[in-house]
Amino acid sequence: MKPNLNREELAIIKEVNYIGTMETAIRECNHCGPTLFKLNSQNRWICIPCDKATTVRSRKNKKAKLMEERGGKCNRCGFDNVIALHWHHTDPLMGDRAEYTLLQDTSYKKMKEHTDKYCELICSNCHIIHHQSTPALNSRQPQ
């Protein structure tokens, strides 16, 4: 969302704190107007909202491409609506959640290697049924 700042206020504001010690500043973006920028790893100013949008788009594109390569349907029941397809880790104890989250931002090649080796493409219904029928994975199993 664009801050309601006029040109004089923008000239007064030099830097603001964003997260930790990250250097930030209010600057003019061609797409967003006056907004918060950060220094990237190449020491260049980038618009934070545009950077977030690019990250989300990249993650969605990689996931869609991987699912399409796997047939784009559930391996168990054949359901083919991509919105409801999940990556099910066949060995859920092989790593922790933080490791899985970091995979989203790795290269397509690394993501493909991981999903080919450790994941099955299934729909949300089959995923829930699998976890509810596996007592070791379900701590809320009815007694």
Average pLDDT value over all residues in the chain: 81
Q: Is there a domain that residue 54 lies in?
A: no
Residues 36, 82, single domain; the answer is no
Domain span at residue 30? Answer: 7-49
pTM, entire model: 0.69
Residues 33, 76, single domain; the answer is no
Q: Is the separation of the CB atoms in 126 and 77 below 8 Å? A: yes
Local structure of 85: helix, strand or coil: strand
Tell me the C-alpha to C-alpha distance, in Å, between residue 134 and each of 27, 88, 140, 142.
53, 13, 11, 12
Q: Tokens in use for 47?
A: 């618009």
Residues 130, 76, single domain; the answer is yes
Neighbours of 125 (CB within 10 A): 14
CA distance 55 to 103: 13
- Kindly report, residue by residue over 72-114, the tens digit of the pLDDT: 999 999 999 989 999 998 876 565 677 777 888 889 999 999 8
Q: Is there a domain that residue 20 lies in?
A: yes
Number of domains in the chain: 2
